[in-house]
Structure 1
Amino acid sequence: MVVVKSVHIDGERIHVFNSAIYILESSLGFTLELDLIVSEVVVKKYKKEDNLIIEIELEDGRIIHSIMHVKSLPGGLPQLNLFCELDDLKEYADFKIVNENDAWFPNLEEGITLDEIRKVEMPIEPVNLKLNLPIDQVEWLKKQKKKDLNEIFKDLIYEYRNK
């Protein structure tokens, strides 16, 4: 079985938690498919792109360069599916070939949790709060820098959650 060692998207190496690379045979022909469990940050960054320049390094030392289409896959964990059409199967002779009617598809989520993924790359989301506070606290908050307030609130929430 062919194993992926690393993946670069548009020249940037991404952290891959699990992957499967295979050839999908359909009525339209053959496509090289790369399914990836990645961070939420990576999915958010690339899911709306149509085509990406991909470099896949395999454990046996081969490197595949290709322009691939991208789909965000539904599921419990953040996943991307990268794919491109294949004309010549000779260089992919050792890849698993899956027919579109087969029941086999890789279960990449097994043994991985969202908490483990977030330890590697935590997404940051903006949030707006409406608070009613005493005026002295409001004045103090207004004097603080946004970066400092972000740290203060992040630390307070983690501390409060872990009580």
Structure 2
Amino acid sequence: MPQIKRVKINGEEIRLLNNVLYLHYSEGDGYSLLLDTVITEVDARKYSHKDKAEVLLRYDDDKEESLDMFITGVTEVGNGDVPVLELEVNIDNHEKFRNLEVVNGDSIECKFPDPTVGITIEEVRKIDMPSDKIDITAILPIDLKEWLHSNNNISEILKEALYDYINKKASE
């Protein structure tokens, strides 16, 4: 089976860092096609509250396949884990995917492929760093308080100051 080159979800291309496409077999349910893909935290937030997705897979041989898949899992953002989007669809014709690894869900030795091997959260965040709003309470001299209130780019000032401080501490 060719490797996946591109993935579009609901018409929007997602950034692929790594993925595994495989079959899952369970005696009661039959075969399912599963796609576990490492995505950015920004993309993880987009799909964390969705149940289904129209998925377009483009392989490295330029063949395409469109599937209506269930979103069975999305890694929670903000815990330091590499984010993974898990997609699944039941299939009738597993012979079409005969070159894929088959994971037997009925087996005690069942081990699912892990797309996060060799990928760190720092690498993911270099591609697309999410931003979160935080509230900070500080006790400052009145002149600094007035200066902060007169500036519209407090977030940028704080971000730069924090990165400078982190880099200073790391070099000590």
1:153 paired residue among 151, 158, 171:
158
Unaligned runs of at least 5 residues, structure 2: none
1:132 paired residue among 113, 134, 139:
139
Name the aligned partner's letter for residue 21 of structure 1: L
CA distance in 2, matches of 1:18, 1:140: 46
Please give the residue correspondences for 1:92-107 in structure 2 after superposition, counting only pairs within 5 Å. Answer: 92-100=97-105, 101=107, 102-107=109-114
TM-score by length of 1: 0.90
Q: Which residue of 1 aligns with 2:68?
A: 67
Identical residues among aligned pairs (%): 32
Unaligned runs of at least 5 residues, structure 1: none
CA distance in 1, matches of 2:138, 2:18: 42
Q: Deviations over 1:102-129 (max 9, x none)?
A: 5332122221111111000111111100
CA distance in 1, matches of 2:112, 2:60: 21
CA distance in 1, matches of 2:117, 2:99: 24
Q: How many aligned positions are there?
A: 161
Give the superposed CA RMSD: 1.8
Tell me, yes or no, if structure 1 residue 88 matches structure 2 residue 89. Answer: no
Name the aligned partner's letter for residue 135 of structure 2: N
CA distance in 2, matches of 1:162, 1:111: 25
Q: CA deviation at 1:96?
A: 2.4
TM-score by length of 2: 0.85
Farther-moved stretch of structure 1 (117-126 vs 99-108): 99-108
Moved beyond 3 Å, runs of 4+: 73-76
Q: Is the 8 A contact 2:75 2:81 kept in 1?
A: no
CA distance in 1, matches of 2:133, 2:96: 46
